[in-house]
Amino acid sequence: MFRMYALLLCLSFAMPLQADVNQADLAKCREYSNPTARSQCVQLYKQTRTRVAYSRCKKSLECWGKQYQKQAREACRNAFSMRAAHSDLWRKYWNNQDFDQFRWHSEKKGSLLYYENESDVVLRCIFFPKAPSRVKVSIAASQ
């Protein structure tokens, strides 16, 4: 019995550590139509070295912002378009902007603020990489 526990303990140290895959990473994997490619993508995100690279990127605003820029643009455009469809104020300022500028909204949580400066207003979109479809958009006076 002791040998079996010792063997299990040794095997647990020999196995590579794997982590949960967050929703944003799963969304990237779902883009593959081939089930094998999708499975390989998920396995890649579970690997320790991928998680280490992810952790390092999360500490750099430039890396983190560029990594999620495509997803953020799409989510922010959708949110702004929905608001513009029902409001003259939003329609007045919304012209399918790119949101190419970004800064931390919360570095600790990894959330980003993408924004676009217009002549008299700033269009803002708070993006949460762990929940990419949950964005908060606003229009504020330019400073």
Which residues lie closer than 8 Å to 46 by C-beta, 6 or more apart? 18, 19, 20, 21
What is the rounded CA–CA span in Å between residue 29 and residue 44?
10
DSSP state of 100: -
What is the rounded CA–CA span in Å between residue 8 and residue 26?
31
For CA atoms 5, 8, 12, 18, give the dihedral sign: negative
Task: Give the pLDDT confidence score for residue 1 in this predicted structure.
Answer: 53
Q: Is the pLDDT of residue 52 over 70?
A: yes
Task: Give the pLDDT confidence score for residue 7 in this predicted structure.
Answer: 41
Q: Is the pLDDT of residue 80 over 90?
A: yes
More confident residue, 35 or 115: 115
Q: What tokens were used for 123?
A: 């269009």
More confident residue, 102 or 133: 102
Q: Is the pLDDT of residue 18 over 70?
A: no
| pLDDT > 90 fraction of the chain, expressed in percent and rounded | 36
- Using 50, 70 and 90 to split pLDDT, how confident is the model at 37? confident
